[in-house]
Chains A and B, each alone.
Chain A
Amino acid sequence: MSAVVARPSERGVRGWLRANSAGRVGAVIERGFRVVGAQNWIIIVSGFFEPVFYLLSMGFGLGGLIGTVTGPGGRPLSYAAFIAPALLATSAMNGALYDSTWNVFFKLRFAKLYQAMLSTSLGPLDVAGGEIFMALFRGLLYAIGFTGVIAILGLTTSWWALAMIPVALLIALGFASVGMALTSYFTTFQQMDWINIALLPMFMFSATLFPITTFPVGVQWFIMALPLWHGVELMRQLSVGVFDGSSGVHLGYFLIMSVLGVAFTTRRLRSLFLR
């Protein structure tokens, strides 16, 4: 047999795109909407109620015992108004991570959905892009709903609160992109559990339910290095429209996290989908 001479493959961005994408993210999104449309809406709506229940029980229930706390710029805030933006940040994180880790893992290993998609002319970049889009779309619905609820309850005092919706999407993108890249390293459900083990304390201690000043300075630095704290603080500032130098840092943290996360996921695409 004669030796096969492969055509020189294209290098650079164009070559990479050719290997990994048919430029058809839209087909994956189309499937996503078709499934959402056929799904039981109660399941979808239930995700919206989770932060609402937290807000009602802790914000108003527990809040009745606590009274007023100190908000951004030293202003007094009701306890419900203090935790509501934090709950929005947390729900953006949870939803994005659930979709990009558990959901992706399940579709990859058990439903074999991606295996089917990748036996068509779709490339891994199309699949990852479509799935992240669907995660963000769901996040957008929840963010609009929850922001509406807290506005109606009078827990926002500024038009800046509307910016909480795009910021929720940015938080979701940061977590979803990193989550999908991490999923490429996981092979068992036990390993997936580590995500939950990391998430719960992050939610409890990221100044979500009480101010960070409660902790000793060393612990504060540790919490400030974690992403959720930045999301919580930024949301809290937006809800009352009071900003300081830290606002830019919080925003920058998520912009950089998203850029790095997307780059990370892109690097891991082939390991994730093409084994």
Chain B
Amino acid sequence: MPVIEARELVKTYANVHAVDGISFDVAPGESFGLLGPNGAGKSTTMRMIGGTTRRTSGTLLVNGLDPETRGPEVRASLGVVPQTDNLDPELRARDNLIMYGRYFGLPYSYLRPKAEELLAFAQLTEKAGEKVDNLSGGMKRRLTIARSLINEPSVLLLDEPTTGLDPQARHILWDRLFRLKEAGVTLIVTTHFMDEAEQLCDRLIVMDGGLIVAEGSPASLIRQYSTREVLELRFGSERNAALVDRLRGYADSIEPLPDRVLLYTDNAEAALAKVKADGLDPVTSLVRRASLEDVFLRLTGRSLVD
């Protein structure tokens, strides 16, 4: 049985269709991603899964239960990491974990050792007695993730887990999430970072404007919607657009952006050599592997991060 079964989910605020009829399944132990720009409807979908936003229409089952009519039971097996930290500023770090466990009805005999274990997992043992406001952004994020694990959830919802973190903090976090995945926890991750989606997700849906525009594993999406390699050329903002027509012959397809032109081809080095041989000399050039960013660009004509 899938952990999550969503059919034709719709959420309408006032007159905005935040989520406009999406369907997907998530299997137990799977790492499932929702990729899309801000406002795509990812967080709204997450909140509907947790039963903290009422859906406008559609059906949704989490572990076989409807979160709208069985919210407390559904959330008993969920861990939730919200987009913005909502730690309790009136409690210290350790007490944040313990009190959160009390909301699940867990006894102190379980919570005391569990809180120490999670503080160690989040590398916060030394900060156990600190006030939350004295922790750095990365520490708060790790504490929030530790908190979400207090009830040993079978499904972990992570809404933009690494937004606002520096690269080092992001890697520590990804490492922790990998360990959870290895332990069999189902991860549901929203992100607008393509590298994060590639690192963490077995399978993902690409969302835009409340709709699913593509679905598959990161590798299969890249295969389906992009070429193997990409050649990025910069001719200066004036000339980029003007040269598009002349560049068409060098690649399978071309994506002109304000600051650069992307040439999709399976052999970017060869394409670059030809461009140079024909006397078009770009200011800078970059040969790289195609990524989910390119998939998104191809699907929507826009980039993920504005």
Contacts and interface: CB of A to CB of B under 8 A. Distances in A.
A121 interface: yes
Interface stretch (B95-103, B254-262, B283-291): B95-103
Interface string B65-87: 11011111101101010101011
Contact of B102 (A15, A19, A31, A112): A31
B89 A111 contact: yes
Interface size class of A (residues with CB under 8 A): 35 or more
A21 interface: yes
Contacts of B23: 1
A120 B86 CA distance: 13
Contacts of A7: 64-66
Nearest to A273: B52
Given A118-B52, A274-B52, A274-B54, A27 B103 contact: yes
A115 B52 contact: yes
Given A1-B7, A27-B105, A120-B151, A18 B66 contact: no
Is chain A's interface secondary structure helix, strand, loop, or mixed overall? loop
A20 B151 CA distance: 20
Contacts of A3: 7, 59
B158 to A, nearest CB: 12
B5 A4 contact: yes
B57 interface: no
B104 interface: yes
B122 to A, nearest CB: 17
Interface string A251-275: 0000000000000000000100111
B61 A6 contact: yes
Nearest to B72: A22
Contacts of B25: 1
Contact of A123 (B66, B72, B102): B72
Interface residues of B, number: 42
A10 B82 CA distance: 30
Contact of A30 (B76, B102, B104): B102
B86 to A, nearest CB: 4
A75 interface: no
Residue of A20, A24, A116, A274 most packed against chain B (CB within 10 A): A116
A25 B78 CA distance: 20
A34 B105 contact: no
Given A9-B66, A21-B72, A115 B103 contact: no
Contacts of A113: 86, 88
B53 interface: yes
Residue of A6, A35, A111, A121 most packed against chain B (CB within 10 A): A121
Contacts of A19: 68-72
Given A15-B69, A19-B69, A270-B54, A116 B75 contact: no
B41 interface: no
B53 A119 contact: no
Interface string B46-60: 000011111000011
17 contacts: A4-B5, A6-B59, A7-B65, A19-B68, A22-B72, A27-B105, A30-B99, A39-B90, A115-B82, A116-B87, A119-B75, A120-B103, A121-B75, A121-B76, A121-B103, A121-B105, A122-B72
